[in-house]
């Protein structure tokens, strides 16, 4: 590599490819002409060395444990901002003025209700359905209800769809929860904050008054901030890939939800708490550490390790702080939290985890906090999806307006049979 160019030698020929530089972070080699030049593709399962797009939203330095949204460090946003403000920032690129924030909140608030007929859609699900299964269905179904915001070539429709998605996710998430309990759905209360409204729709019943606990509201708002966006992760890439074909935004978000559900991604918060509960007491930690290190055992320490962070996930630091504060506030002494803290200390000193640079990620402590608030484990990933909708929507908008955007269409290294003639069934 020399002076803004990477040279590839292939056989007796060499090819030059331009380096592209971002504002910060590693350069990328622009290989868009590689196939035309060389008749060869690159091979990169899991996209570990591939930048799929240019983006101005979120920057991660995995070695230093830094996460920035539009340049602002996540710890500053978590401590000083609000989820609505971060949503505005991600969508629009700058922090809002007081007036801009108030207008934005007003717009989101006015979109919180869902079409009444959508309530009937829920009845098709079993009561014991996983709420993420319900979310995949109902979010995709939004495209059947809001035809006036599915033309992705119209910027106004894109904006309305974005606001609708951000506004309606808490309503749908709360409905999924209520449905599992057999309790009536609770309509949004637009006098409340985004997060306060979600808490009310989740925990109130029509027979009783409900008061939002400001500390729980603040803790949950912080959790939403910590999950709002995370660069080109699997679900965001899924949303972009689905959107690259011109699919409508509601369908794209449903695709993102489906991807997020997996235990290697958003499903890890549920898996992490289940694991901590299974460990139960600190004396059983060594047994689980040994299993995580055993190559013949598929068990992994859930909430540990990350594709990008090879240092402490800065979201985990903020989450641990929130866990401390909330458990104190609620007067909860959760043995699972003790197990988590002890497990973290043991793993951080263990050579296997040190060598592989495995640190706690955001999901390690989020389950403790969500469980203290009163959410069942099955709702954890739903809350992740609710918050990540902001990132998905912002990334989807960025993709649609990117002049370099093309339909996502990876190639492959074919290893199947070469061409052969069809054989009739009687002759096989
Ligand atoms: N426990 C034990 N070993 C691990 C773990 C773990 N949690 N994570 C990675 N390793 C080992 C892995 O076995 C591999 O070892 P070797 O090189 O000997 O084969 C090495 O570390 C590298 O792992 P990898 O699977 O190649 O790394 P990846 O970048 O493909 O995977 C990951 C990243 C997050 C999927 C993985 O660390 C993992 O499965 N962690 C547990 C699930 C989890 O907590 N996921 C939440 C991610 S953060 C929230 C989000 O963004 O969705």
Q: Each residue's pLDDT tens digit in the chain (428 positions)?
A: 556 999 999 999 999 999 999 999 999 999 999 999 999 999 999 999 999 999 999 999 999 999 999 999 999 999 999 999 999 999 999 999 999 999 999 999 999 999 999 999 999 999 999 999 999 999 999 999 999 889 999 999 999 999 999 999 999 999 999 999 999 999 999 999 999 999 999 999 999 999 999 999 999 999 999 999 999 999 999 999 999 999 999 999 999 999 999 988 988 888 899 999 999 999 999 999 999 999 999 999 999 999 899 988 999 999 989 988 998 898 888 888 889 989 999 999 999 999 999 999 988 889 889 999 999 999 999 999 999 999 999 999 999 999 999 999 999 999 999 999 999 999 99
Give ligand 1 pocket residues (Cβ under 6 A): 46, 230, 233, 264-266, 268, 292, 300-307, 356, 358, 361-363
For ligand 1, what atom is nearest to the CA of residue 266? Answer: 52
Of 221, 229, 350, 363, the active-site residue reads 363
Determine whether 363 is an active site residue.
Answer: yes
Residue nearest atom 21 in ligand 1 by C-alpha distance: 356
Ligand 1 centroid from CA 385, angstroms: 21
Report which protein residue has its CA nearest ligand 1's atom 8.
305
Q: Please tell me which residue in 163, 227, 306, 350 is annotated as part of the active site.
A: 306
Protein residue with least CA distance to atom 50, ligand 1:
265
Residue 130 annotated to the active site: no
Whole-model pTM: value is: 0.93
Task: Give the chain's largest Cα–Cα span.
Answer: 80
The 10s digit of each residue's pLDDT in 315-359 is: 999 998 998 899 889 888 888 888 998 999 999 999 999 999 999
CB burial readout 346-373, b (16+ within 10 A) else e: ebeebeebeeeebbbbbbbbbbbbbbbb
Q: Kindly give the distance from the C-alpha atom of residue 304 to the centroid of ligand 1, in angstroms, as a whole number.
A: 7
CA of 97 to the centre of ligand 1 (A): 40
CA distance 63 to 318: 18
Helix (H) or strand (E) holding 17: strand 13-20
- What's the gap in Å between 305 CA and the centre of ligand 1? 5
Q: Which of 60, 291, 305, 363 to mutate to test the pocket of ligand 1 (most atoms within 8 A of CB)?
A: 305
Rounded to the nearest integer, the mean pLDDT of the chain is 95
User: Cβ neighbours of residue 91 under 8 Å, at least 6 residues apart?
Assistant: 162, 390, 393, 394, 397
Which residue's alpha carbon is nearest to atom 31 within ligand 1? 307
Tokens matching residue 301: 């320490």
Atom 32 in ligand 1: residue holding the nearest Cα: 306
The C-alpha atoms of residue 201 and residue 195 are separated, in whole angstroms, by: 10
Backbone φ and ψ for 426, nearest 5 degrees, come out as -70, -15
**CA dist 259 → 48, 93, 100, 174, 265 (Å):** 18, 26, 33, 20, 8
C-alpha angle 193-198-204 in degrees, rounded to nearest 5: 110
């Amino acid at each position: 590599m020399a002076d803004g160019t990477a040279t590839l030698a292939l056989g007796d020929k060499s090819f030059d490819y331009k380096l592209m530089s971002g504002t910060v972070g590693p350069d990328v080699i622009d290989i868009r002409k590689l196939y035309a030049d060389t008749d060869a593709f690159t091979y990169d399962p899991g996209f570990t060395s591939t930048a799929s797009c240019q983006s101005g939203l979120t920057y991660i330095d995995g070695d230093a444990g830094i996460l920035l949204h539009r340049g602002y460090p996540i710890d500053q946003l978590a401590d000083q901002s609000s989820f609505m403000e971060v949503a505005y920032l991600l969508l629009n690129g700058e922090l809002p003025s007081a007036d801009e924030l108030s207008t934005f909140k007003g717009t989101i608030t006015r979109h919180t209700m869902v079409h009444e007929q959508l309530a009937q859609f829920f009845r098709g699900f079993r009561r014991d359905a996983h709420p993420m299964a319900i979310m995949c269905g109902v979010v995709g179904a939004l495209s059947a209800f809001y035809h006036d915001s599915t033309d992705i070539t119209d910027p106004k429709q894109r904006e309305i769809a974005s606001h609708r998605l951000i506004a309606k996710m808490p309503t749908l998430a709360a409905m999924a929860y209520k449905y599992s309990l057999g309790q009536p759905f609770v309509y949004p209360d637009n006098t409340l904050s985004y997060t306060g409204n979600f808490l009310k729709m989740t925990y109130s019943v029509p027979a009783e008054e409900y008061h939002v606990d400001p500390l729980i509201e603040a803790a949950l708002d912080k959790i939403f901030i910590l999950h709002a966006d995370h660069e080109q992760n699997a679900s965001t890439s899924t949303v972009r890939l689905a959107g690259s074909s011109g699919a409508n935004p509601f369908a794209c978000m449903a695709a993102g939800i489906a991807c997020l559900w997996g235990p290697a991604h958003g499903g890890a918060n549920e898996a992490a708490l289940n694991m901590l509960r299974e460990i139960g007491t600190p004396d059983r930690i060594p047994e689980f550490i040994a299993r995580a290190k055993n190559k013949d055992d598929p068990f992994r320490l859930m909430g540990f390790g990350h594709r990008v962070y090879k240092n402490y996930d800065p979201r985990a630091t903020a989450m641990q702080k929130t866990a401390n504060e909330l458990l104190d506030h609620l007067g909860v002494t959760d043995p699972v939290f003790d197990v988590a803290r002890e497990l973290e200390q043991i793993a951080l000193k263990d050579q296997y985890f040190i060598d592989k640079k495995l640190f706690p990620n955001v999901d390690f402590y989020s389950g403790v906090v969500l469980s203290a608030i009163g959410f069942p484990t099955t709702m954890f990933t739903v809350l992740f999806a609710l918050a990540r909708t902001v990132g998905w929507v912002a990334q989807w908008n960025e993709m649609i307006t990117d002049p370099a955007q093309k339909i996502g269409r990876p190639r492959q290294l074919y290893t199947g049979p070469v061409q052969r003639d069809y054989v009739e069934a009687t002759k096989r």
